């Protein structure tokens, strides 16, 4: 072989080797990035080339795959009671992607999860159509409906948790939307998407997990917990040495009680919570100081996100308030803000004798033939308060429902503890107050449910809005649905 031909041969060999290296690099290293690229439409088409798995609630699917036999898409996701379950499932759209469980559990639902490899291979060899796996949620269908019906046309949210396990039993946000309306590629889907995103009421906002509100008087539970945990008070009947009108420290601003006829002067902790004395808990908060309140709030989960697996917005307890601001923070105003999930977690920890379990939405992942791929393992987040403190707070919350502002949450034959809240907001408190109620129900020695409800627009005028009149009946119906009454 002469020299020029030899050089050409070596060059061609190098080209072949470079091509082989590049091919192996793409297949072995970059395959996942190409497969998951948002620009790879083939992956999106394949996702809807066969039936998608379902999201299960109380043993029944709330999603399904409709055969449409389109040019690019063979199937389209549909929902049963879509608006009621949208805060749980999210949407799966051929045009606009997905979110919430539809996104987070997509590998199982679409059948692409590595754990389904052998199942998919067997189906391919036997000629069976590929199908995604199912996701079994913790949602209690009756509790979800009670929360959704209770909120009705109001703007707000509700969360119910099993304090013993952390299982989320209800997760509702209103106003809501039907994910089926944006599932496809038709002009109507695009029009629905534009309308939903332009709606000032934000129906696609998950208020239960992603919206924070001033928690108002429901935060007095955290302030009371701090008072017991730090030893400032020992018993629920300890007097508080509080004037009827309290002047915020370092200012001439007076803090009043919502009902001036209620006698909060030197009230005991139990009585102060029952009639929701701002002066008592504002003064306690100022005397405790911001750092002690902050430490206790963070034990309950404030200033951290929570993955359910849908990630919540972090609830906020401020780190740098002045003494007068701390007094207002302690009654759930000023710069304190909480998601409904967070306040359900507070009630849950109190109900379960101080133990706070990790909230979760997914109980099982299954293959298309119902084989369990994974099963949730319960996890304790922490012990924000002692059992002794929790039991004191339980007594105080029961008194709120029996003799105080939470009477509309009473359930015959069931121990119900609760706390109302009417939270001011807006410039100079110009907005309509938010109505809150947090509670738990105990059957025997066990508490199977803790609830938080917030309503943004419960009435036309401020004097008609209170947590006890608007939010408590909704919480009652959710608790009744869980305990079977």
Residues annotated as part of the active site:
217
CA distance 139 to 168: 6
Pairing mode, if any, of strands 55-57 and 134-137?
parallel
Structure-token match 């620009």, residue found: 39
Residue count of the chain: 485
CB 466 within 8 A of CB 418: no
User: What is the 3-state secondary structure of the chain?
Assistant: CCHHHHHHHHHHHHHHHHHHHHHHHHHHCCHHHHHCCCCCHHHHHHHCCCCCCCEEECCEECEEEEECCCCCCCEEEEECCHHHHHHHHCCEECCCEECHHHHHCHHHHHCCCHHHHHHHHHHHHHCCCCCCCEEEECCCHHHHHHHHHHHCCCCEEEEEECCCCCEEEEEEEECCCCHHHHCCCCHHHHHHHHHHHHCCCCCCCCHHHHCCECCHHHHHHHHHHHHHHCCCCCCCCCECCCCCCEECCCCCCEECCCCCCCCCCCCEHHHHHHCCCHHHHHHHHHHHCHHHHHHHHHHHCCCCCCECCCECCCCECCCCCCHHHHHHHCCCCCCCEECHHHHHHHHHHHHCCCCEECCECEEEEECCCCCEEEECCCCEEECCCCHHHHHHHHHHHHHHHHHCCCHHHCECCEEEEEEEEEECCCHHHCCCCEEEEEEEEEECCEEEEEEEEEECCCCCCHHHCCHHHHHHHHHHHHHHHHHCC
Q: What is the DSSP string of 360-398?
A: BSEEEEE-TT--EEEE----EEE--S-HHHHHHHHHHHH
Residue 236's alpha-carbon distances to 177, 198, 297, in angstroms, are 45, 50, 20
CB 314 within 8 A of CB 328: no
Q: Please count the other Cβ atoms lying within 10 Å of the Cβ belonging to residue 264.
A: 25
């Amino acid at each position: 072989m002469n020299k020029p031909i030899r050089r050409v041969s070596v060059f061609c060999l190098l080209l072949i080797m470079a091509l082989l290296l590049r091919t192996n690099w793409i297949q072995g290293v970059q395959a996942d990035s190409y497969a998951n690229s948002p620009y790879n439409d083939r992956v999106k088409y394949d996702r809807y080339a066969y039936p998608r798995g379902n999201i299960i609630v109380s043993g029944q699917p709330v999603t399904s795959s409709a055969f449409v036999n389109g040019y690019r898409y063979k199937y389209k996701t549909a929902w049963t009671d879509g608006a009621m379950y949208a805060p749980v499932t999210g949407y799966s759209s051929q045009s606009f992607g997905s979110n919430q469980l539809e996104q987070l559990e997509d590998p199982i639902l679409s059948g692409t999860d590595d754990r389904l490899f052998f199942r998919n291979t067997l189906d391919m060899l036997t000629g069976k159509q590929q199908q995604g796996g199912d996701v079994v949620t913790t949602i209690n269908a009756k509790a979800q409906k009670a929360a959704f019906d209770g909120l009705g046309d109001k703007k707000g949210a509700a969360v119910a948790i099993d304090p013993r396990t952390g299982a989320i039993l209800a997760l509702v946000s209103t106003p809501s939307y039907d994910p089926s309306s944006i599932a496809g590629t038709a002009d109507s889907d695009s029009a629905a998407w534009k309308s939903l995103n332009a709606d000032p009421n934000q129906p696609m906002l998950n208020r239960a997990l992603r919206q924070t509100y001033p928690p108002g008087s429901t935060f007095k539970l955290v302030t009371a917990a701090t008072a017991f945990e730090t030893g400032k008070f020992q018993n629920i009947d300890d007097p508080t040495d509080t004037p009827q009108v309290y002047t915020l420290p370092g200012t001439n601003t007076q803090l009043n009680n919502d009902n001036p006829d209620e006698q909060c002067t030197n009230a005991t902790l139990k009585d102060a919570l029952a009639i929701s004395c701002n002066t008592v808990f504002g003064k306690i908060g100022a005397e405790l100081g911001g750092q002690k309140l902050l430490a206790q709030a963070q034990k309950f989960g404030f200033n951290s996100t929570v993955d359910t697996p849908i990630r919540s917005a972090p609830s906020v307890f401020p780190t740098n308030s002045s003494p007068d601001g701390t007094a207002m923070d302690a009654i759930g105003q000023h710069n304190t803000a909480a998601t409904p999930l967070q306040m359900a977690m507070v009630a849950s920890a109190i109900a379960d004798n101080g133990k706070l379990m990790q909230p979760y939405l997914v109980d099982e992942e299954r293959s298309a033939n119902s084989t369990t791929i994974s099963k949730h393992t319960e996890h304790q987040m922490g012990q924000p308060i002692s059992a002794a403190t929790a039991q004191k707070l339980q007594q105080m919350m029961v008194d709120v429902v029996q003799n105080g502002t939470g009477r509309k949450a009473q359930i015959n034959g069931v121990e119900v503890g609760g706390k109302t809240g009417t939270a001011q907001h807006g410039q100079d408190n110009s907005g309509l107050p938010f109505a809150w109620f947090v509670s738990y129900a105990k059957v025997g020695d066990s508490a199977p449910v803790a609830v938080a409800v917030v309503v943004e627009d419960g009435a036309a005028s401020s004097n008609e809005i209170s947590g006890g009149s608007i939010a408590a009946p909704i919480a009652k119906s959710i608790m009744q649905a869980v305990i079977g009454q």
